[in-house]
Structure 1
Amino acid sequence: MCVCVCERVSVSGGRSAVCLCLEKALGLASCPALKGGAERCLPNPRPGPPLVYYKSLSGGARSEILIRAYPTIFHHAYRPGLLGYPRAPDFDRSQWLDVKFNLGLAFPNLPYLIDGDKKITQSNAILRYIARQYNLCGETEEERIRVDMLENHVMDIRMQLARVCYNPNFEVMKIEYLQQLPGQLKLFSLFLGKCSWFAGNKITFVDFLVYDVLDQNRKFEPSCLEKFSNLKEFLHRFESLSSIATYLASERCQPYPIFAKMACWGNK
């Protein structure tokens, strides 16, 4: 099985192409994305399940962490900086526009995922599709309810920070944002409680999303988590997972930029 997740986005003349193939066994699979402009498709030379980030302008910030850590993931078309916001000099919108309506996508958009005859757009739909393959959506009804609520709440919080960072009145907006941030973090802290993970005692895809948002906010304001010990413990627990630790220590980890270059913060 080959799952190709492709994204080509432009910001003021930049361009990036990402092709990620999720396979059941080692080896190079035929990647439909190559026909759509991805530069190359190479098997990950290192075994193991790294976590892969991808960027999307739809949220204006570092995109949701896609669940590609369990149990087997191969990262294709990687080169340093490829996962950052695009500034490549060879940007050409035709690389996407020429194939946009020829891929059989119901709602042509970026990113998109092709897995055999399954073709999916929209970030959260792709995220859930991958998570379902590895039972990362919650096992009980209570867990699934928690997953569903948190998935949408995380998007709200992500967009709040993005709106601040893209606002020309950034310095004023930042003060207002930081004033309300403790209240938002308190809700996350209460929701997590004494559990190891946000849906309960087993990791789900929303833990990747929450990690991403909390990590962005501690970069924005390093002291913001000081009063929330369980959130700090959650971040440490997540970063200590072997596959995540391997990824974070690798050159493939690109903490910045979080936002596109027109943002007032996190753009470099």
Structure 2
Amino acid sequence: MSAKPKLTYFNGRGRMESTRWLLAAAGIEFEEEFVETKEQYEKLCKDGALLFGQLPLVEMDGMNLVQTRAILNYIAGKYNLYGKTLKDRAHIDMYVEGTMDLFQMILMFPFTPPEQKEKQAATIFEKATTRYFPVYEKALKTHGQEFLVGNSLSYADVQLLEAILAMEEIKPDVLAQFPKLQAFKARISNIPTIKKFLQPGSQKKPPADAAYVATVLKVLTIE
């Protein structure tokens, strides 16, 4: 039996959370090692585990996988979450790239100074509801299927649900004008592997708190 994938990152969401989601959706158990000190990070760099000196790191199938998109594409392809045709994959990639753009703002939100948080939350909400979510709402309406691409769960669906739930933490009524996305959220959340991941006690990480932000800044700050 092959070893479980090993995920090395900070003890929080960041750029690793989408990988946790994707592995969980595929029903794959994984182990985690949390980076808490600059020494740990520097050792990973010195040992050559981080190709570009950046986290996250996923060890699986005898490889040290780095760079978020490369990690996610590999996992999606390995566990049949990347469509059935080259055209499916192209559509999945487009949806994922859009979600990634939204995630970039969400990921940086915890690092926003307190006095700017309200303004930044409003900016993220505006972008989500005028640029990104309308695309997925239209896709679901036009496609007429339960999933964004084809007739089976894909990487794009998993990441979209992750983004929706993260946005709801910032603005609970973010889906008010998107009935198709409301139904999508309910439907995808009830897929057994995903439902399990959403339960308390799973490896799903909570929203970033002050301790997480402090750890990341301590480890990555260049002195």
**TM-score over 0.5 for the pair:** yes
Label 1:70 to 1:156 Cα distance change in 2 as closer, same or farther (>3 A): closer
Instruction: Supply the distance in 2 between the matched residues of 1:77 and 1:115 (Cα, whole angstroms).
Output: 12
Match of 1:266 in 2: none
Deviations 1:167-218 (A, max 9, x none): 3322223334434432132122112222211112111112111111111112
**CA–CA distance in structure 2, aligned partners of residues 195 and 55 of structure 1:** 30
In structure 2, runs of 5+ residues without a counterpart are: 214-223
Unaligned runs of 5+ in 1: 10-15, 17-53, 264-268
Q: Does 1:245 align with 2:200?
A: no
Residue 192 of structure 1: aligned partner: 140
2:13 is the counterpart of 1:55: yes
Q: Is the 8 A contact 1:143 1:199 kept in 2?
A: yes
Deviates more, 1:162-171 or 1:147-156: 162-171
- Specify whether residues 107 and 232 from structure 1 end up closer, same or farther in structure 2 by C-alpha distance, changes over 3 A only: same
**1:18-45, Cα deviation, whole Å (9 max, x unpaired):** xxxxxxxxxxxxxxxxxxxxxxxxxxxx
Contact conserved, 1:70 with 1:134, CA < 8 A, in 2?
no
Higher relative CO (Cα under 8 Å, sequence separation at least 6) belongs to 2
- Helix, strand or coil for the counterpart of 1:119? strand
The one-letter amino acid of 2:159's match is L
- Distance in 2, matches of 1:55 and 1:164, equals 12
Residue by residue over 1:93-149, the C-alpha shift from the partner in whole angstroms, topping out at 9 and shown as x without a partner, is 212322423245533432212234422111221111111112211112331111110
1:96 aligns with 2:41: yes
What TM-score do the two structures reach when normalised by structure 2?
0.77
| Aligned CA-pair RMSD | 2.9
* CA contact 1:158–1:213 (8 Å) conserved in 2: yes
Identity %: 20
Letter of the 1:76 counterpart: E
TM-score normalized by structure 1? 0.66
**Larger helix share, 1 or 2:** 2
Equivalent residue letter for 2:100: M
Query: Which structure 1 residue ranges, 4+ long, deviate > 6 Å from structure 2?
Result: none
Structure-2 change in CA distance of 1:77 and 1:125 (3 Å): closer
* Counterpart for residue 49 of structure 1: none
Count how many residue pairs are aligned between Structure 1 and Structure 2: 207
